[in-house]
Each structure stands twice: as structure tokens, then as C-alpha cells.
Amino acid sequence: MSISKSKPSVLKHADGEFYTRYFAKAYDTLTTLSGWKRHIMPAAFLDLPKGRLLDVGCGTGDVLNEALLRGYNATGIDASEGMVQKAKTRHGLDDQQIKVSLADDLPFADQSFDAGIASGSLVHIPQIQGAVKEIHRVLKPGGIMRILDHAVPVQKSITTPIFWAFSHASGDILHDYKHYFENGFELVDHKTIARGGYLQKFDFKKI
């Protein structure tokens, strides 16, 4: 069993049920006002290979829908039934394009996807080892897994304390992705994007 390399916040993380009950209706407004979408969208598809794409923790489907518009054969999963239903209504997605599922129990065959993306979702998974194992299973060899999420900053700024408070108030679990993806993956890109260094981009290639 690997040693935990995650830093939990002071508040309980928001799981799928919590999002269904409290956040699903207001999620799109909150992510727009907080600047999340403005930072995520430009980085989501930059140099990401076309093909069959899995969106892990797709929420209300903005990134998933953008992927479909860009020509990806995209499928999304989310643990929150409320978020999935909103995505279907908002973007006209069907049961083949989006499913209710846990990240550590993906309903897909081995080597089904050319690439994967997780934006703002893995911070809500306490047992990330299971999710990493499943992501590795469903990706094809050479497939890229892109993570756009909060992590412990490696580049700080004057706004870092503000986003430290934001991350804790959001219930984030800050995972050391380099640690959890060290077996079966190669880190091919890592950049700081925004939010006082908390919002970062990781690209892992399945080997």
C-alpha cells in the first residue's frame, strides 16, 4: 500500500451526493464567477490528441460539450446524478455521451480511450489510487491523461494565501499527482496556470 501523498482540507470534501443536493443548480454560475471556466477552457484541449476522449468528473458538461464541438469522440462520467442530469438538459447529451459513474469503477472496456481529461474533479476523490488504476486501464498505450486541478503550489504569488483559503473552503484534497501517476505513466508536461499557483496542468502519458 502506497504512502498517502494527499493533503486534505479543513472541511469535508464535496462528494457526488453533496453536489447533487447542494451545488448542481448553482454550479455553472459559481464556476463562471470564480473564473474557473476562463482559466480551464484555453488549457483543456491545447495539443491534446484527437480521438476517443474520456472526461473524468465532467460535472455539468461544459468541457465535455466543448470536446464534442471540437470533433472529439467524447464521453463523460460523473459521480453526481444531479450534475449529469443538468449536463444532459443544458447540452442535449444522451446516455452514450455521459454516464453516472465513480472514477474508481469506470464502465468501459480496457484500452477504450485515446486520451482523458479531469478538470476540477480529482480533488473530490479521497481514494485516488483506485481512480488512477482505472484511468490506466481504460487508456490506450501512449494515451494522454490531462489533469487541470488544484495542487500544492510550486510557484507562489501574492494571491496564494487567498486561494489557500478558497481551496480549503471548497473541501479540496490536494493530491501529489506525480506520486500517484508514477507507475504506468510518464509525466510529459506540468505547468502552473493560475489561482496563486494552485491551479495546475499535468499531462501523463500511459506507458
How large a percentage of the chain has pLDDT more than 90?
76
Which of 1-15, 124-138, 177-191 bottoms out in mean pLDDT, i.e. has the lowest?
1-15
Q: Give the mean model confidence (pLDDT) for residues 105-134.
A: 96
When pLDDT is averaged across residues 10-25 and rounded to a whole number, the result is 60
Nearest to 121 by CA among 61, 38, 56, 198: 56
Band of residue 64 on the pLDDT scale cut at 50, 70, 90: very high
Asked whether residue 21 carries a pLDDT value surpassing 60, the answer given is: no
Please provide the average confidence, as pLDDT, over all residues in the chain: 90
Which DSSP helix (H) or strand (E) runs through 193? Answer: strand 185-194
What predicted TM-score, i.e. pTM, was given to this entire model? Answer: 0.90
Residue 168: which pLDDT band, with cuts at 50, 70 and 90? confident
Decide if pLDDT at 2 tops 50: no
Question: What confidence score (pLDDT) does residue 25 get?
Answer: 62
Confidence band of 3 (pLDDT split at 50, 70, 90) = low
H or E segment at 47? none
| Whether the predicted pLDDT of 15 surpasses 80 | no
| H helix or E strand, kind and range, residue 24 | none
- C-alpha distances out from residue 80 to 100, 107, 179, 189, Å: 7, 15, 27, 30
For 106, counting Cβ atoms within 10 Å of its Cβ (0-12 exposed, 13-18 middle, 19+ buried), the class is buried
The residue-averaged pLDDT of 98-118 equals: 97
Any idea which of 5-9, 61-65, 154-158, 193-197 has the lowest mean pLDDT? Answer: 5-9
The more confidently predicted of residues 32 and 101 is 101
